[in-house]
Structure 1
Amino acid sequence: MSQLTITLDDNLLQAAQEYARRNGQELNAWVAQLLAEAMQPATDAPADQPARPLSPRIQRLFGAVKVPADFDYKKVLDEAMRERYGI
């Protein structure tokens, strides 16, 4: 097994160590697990579900913006790009 040295903000390191301890893991094992999960290929999840679980912070954003049922995101994006770049 190889070693890796990373530089973290003191507060982040302390929070990560605390999180790992609370979850009964060593920091090295927890970081290795995070890296392994991040490198997993996307699964064939249904189109309406993300391949990986979303953080609670992102989950709270669902439903924050109400749009009409016939909202055409691609059309709005295209118009915004044309306006911004003068196309």
Structure 2
Amino acid sequence: MDSKLTLKLDKAVIEQAKEYAKKNQISLSRLIESYLASLTQKEKSNKKEIEITPLVESLSGVVKLPKDFDFKKDYRDHLLEKYK
């Protein structure tokens, strides 16, 4: 059952959200509903889970790394090289 909700938001945020919704062919109500649903579902499913932003999610699979890749060692090596 749908219910009405009144929110007070910054005007610029509202305009940006409307543009985003229009570009993605979704209503602003549906956009906010799905955002709130995703927040509450993540909280229920696993509080320790790392949140993946849409940008990062869109980049997943772009780079193929070996399963045993040690990103901390690689970053440490990069910093040592950069600052030597």
* Residue ranges of structure 1 left out of the alignment (5+ in a row): 58-62, 68-87
Matched with 2:15 is 14
The number of residue pairs the alignment matches comes to 56
Deviations 1:16-35 (A, max 9, x none): 00001101100000000000
Report the Cα offset of residue 15 of structure 1: 0.2
- Give the fraction of aligned pairs with identical amino acids, expressed as a percent: 25
Matched with 1:42 is 45
* Residue ranges of structure 2 left out of the alignment (5+ in a row): 57-71, 77-84
Matched to 2:30, the amino acid is: A
Q: 1: CA distance between counterparts of 2:21 and 2:37?
A: 16
TM norm structure 2:
0.54
Q: Aligned-residue CA RMSD in angstroms?
A: 2.8
Matched with 1:23 is 24
Report the Cα offset of residue 54 of structure 1: 3.0
Report the Cα offset of residue 53 of structure 1: 1.2
Following TM superposition, the consecutive aligned residue runs of length 4 or more in structure 1 with deviations greater than 4 angstroms are none
Q: 2: CA distance between counterparts of 1:11 and 1:56?
A: 22
Deviations 1:10-58 (A, max 9, x none): 10000000001101100000000000000002349xx8x62x313649x
Q: 2: CA distance between counterparts of 1:33 and 1:55?
A: 14
Q: 1: CA distance between counterparts of 2:4 and 2:18?
A: 18
